[in-house]
């Protein structure tokens, strides 16, 4: 069996899960509700406030889906109970970001400002303090969506390897290059 797939997903207090006839798992918690369609061959059962996934045989396709769906359901449980958060840092002179509702307006050194429309499920905050880089904070209950949006924002100006200018995740270690050396 899949090592990940055979581990049960425990439901913390305040979180409930339901599985309907169409094999859709719905998880409700204090922060919201998420649902995920599961492949018809994977069975999901609720036992003693735990979700247990099982598969009928050891077919290669089912083995891969077993661990995948268990991980997706575990991410949903964490999302509706605690939520997810991503912090992005803008490194560069004159780089700035401003949040207006679901719009993120950024000046990233191009000749124009970039306006990024965010999905309704994501909340955004920006903060700029003196003598520090601007920080964009994204928060949501959906791990897949927040990761996708954060990667999309980062792709607008990825960090370059010489000075490190660009948009990077807070705590991300960049591989730096030495640059030119003086000719002898």
DSSP string, 111-158: SS-EEEEPPTT-EEEEE--TTS--EEEEEES-HHHHHHHHHHHHTTSP
Say yes or no to pLDDT of 1 above 70: no
Computed over every residue of the chain, the mean pLDDT equals: 92
Domain 84-169 in the same topology as domain 9-81: yes
pTM above 0.85, yes or no: yes
Given this model, what pLDDT does residue 182 score?
A: 65
- Domain-wise residue ranges, the chain: 9-81, 84-169
Residues 101 and 118: beta-carbon distance below 8 Å = no
Q: Right CATH number for 9-81 from 2.60.130.10, 2.40.50.100, 3.40.50.150, 3.90.930.12?
A: 3.90.930.12
For residue 123, give the nearest of 132, 136, 134 by alpha carbon.
136
Question: Which top CATH class is 84-169?
Answer: alpha beta
pLDDT at 107: 94
Quick: pLDDT tens for 93-115: 999 999 999 999 999 999 999 99
Is there a contact between 153 and 88 (Cβ–Cβ < 8 Å)? yes
pLDDT tens sequence across 39-85 = 989 999 999 899 999 999 988 999 889 999 999 999 999 999 999 99
């Amino acid at each position: 069996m899949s090592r990940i797939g055979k581990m049960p997903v425990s439901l913390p207090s305040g979180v409930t899960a339901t599985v309907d006839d169409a094999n859709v798992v719905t998880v409700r918690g204090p922060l919201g509700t998420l649902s995920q369609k599961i492949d018809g061959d994977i069975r999901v059962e609720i036992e003693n406030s735990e979700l247990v996934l099982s598969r009928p045989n050891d077919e290669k396709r089912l083995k891969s889906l077993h661990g995948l769906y268990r991980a997706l359901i575990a991410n949903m449980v964490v999302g509706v109970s605690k939520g997810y958060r991503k912090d992005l840092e803008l490194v560069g002179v004159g780089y700035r970001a401003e949040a207006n509702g679901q719009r993120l307006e950024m000046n990233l050194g191009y000749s124009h400002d970039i306006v990024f429309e965010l999905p309704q499920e994501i909340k955004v905050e920006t903060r700029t303090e003196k003598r520090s880089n601007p920080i964009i904070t994204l928060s949501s209950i959906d791990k897949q969506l927040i990761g996708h949006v954060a990667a999309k924002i980062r792709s607008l100006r990825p960090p370059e390897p010489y000075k490190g200018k660009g948009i990077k995740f807070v705590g991300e270690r960049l591989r730096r290059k030495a640059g030119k050396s003086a000719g002898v």
